[in-house]
Amino acid sequence: MNRLEVIQLLINHTKAKNYLEIGVFDGRTFLEVKAKRKHAVDPSMKISNRYKFHSIRYDFKNLMNKYFHQTSDAYFESQQKKLEQNKIDVAFIDGLHTYTQTLMDVKNVLIHLNTKGIIVMHDCSPPTKASGWPANSLENAITLNIPDFKNEWCGDSWKAIHHLIEWNKKFNALDIFVLNCDYGLGIVKPKNNFSVSMLDSLKPDSIYETLSYEFLNSNRSGVINLKEENYIREYLNKNP
């Protein structure tokens, strides 16, 4: 399965109306997703007007899309009141592939997530050390002369998933796992006992930021709770 298939499966399963995508780039995922209301957030968005027009012919609901050419932090600050009225049902996080920003994006989405909402995170299981090299962006990674680098970059978003798993041991308020497909698709879903107040203790920590790729690669099933891709259907069947 790829990201689009998983996202659409979750939207259809939960009958989601409000979809948020952080890190949109050229819109290849965002414009193909079918949902009633969609928000695209990316300060460096590169969606052509021609593609937008084509997407409206593909799905008329794309006419209602809203595009925010700003950082995710700025989006959550500026849209706070509107998000309180229309909470997020499904979110796809594919923005800055850094531990700190990914963690903060998840936290901000959880604050505004519907009770039955689900988060999907991209690039949570980098296949090689080079692809999982910490950097501020793909462009930055290219300049670092990383050994065996092949322009395939996931960053260290996996550390955010691991941090969430460790943090959740105190509360057992989230379901968290990573599907072994499309560079690792992280799934985060609140349980019935989840409370936004729990998130006060969720903050970036150097303990996680300094973790090595070898730590991940030695035990992916334990570090990021890696599951085979078909597990998502099994999970949804158990969580209607």
Write down all domains in the chain, each with its CATH number in brackets. Answer: 3-23+85-238 (3.40.50)
Per-residue confidence band for 240, with pLDDT thresholds at 50, 70 and 90: confident
Question: What is the reported pLDDT for 44?
Answer: 94
pLDDT at 239 over 90: no
Question: Average pLDDT of 39-64?
Answer: 95
C-alpha span between 179 and 226 (Å, rounded): 6
DSSP 3-state of 17: coil
Q: Which residues contact 181 (CB under 8 A, 6 or more apart)?
A: 1, 2, 6, 229
CA–CA separation, 217 and 223 (whole Å): 9
Average confidence (pLDDT) over 95-99: 96
Decide: pTM greater than 0.85. yes
| Residue pLDDT, tens place only, 112-150 | 999 999 999 999 999 999 999 999 998 999 999 999 999
* Residue corresponding to tokens 């985060």: 188
pLDDT in tens, 7-45: 999 999 999 999 999 999 999 999 999 999 999 999 999
Arithmetic mean of pLDDT, 100-121: 98
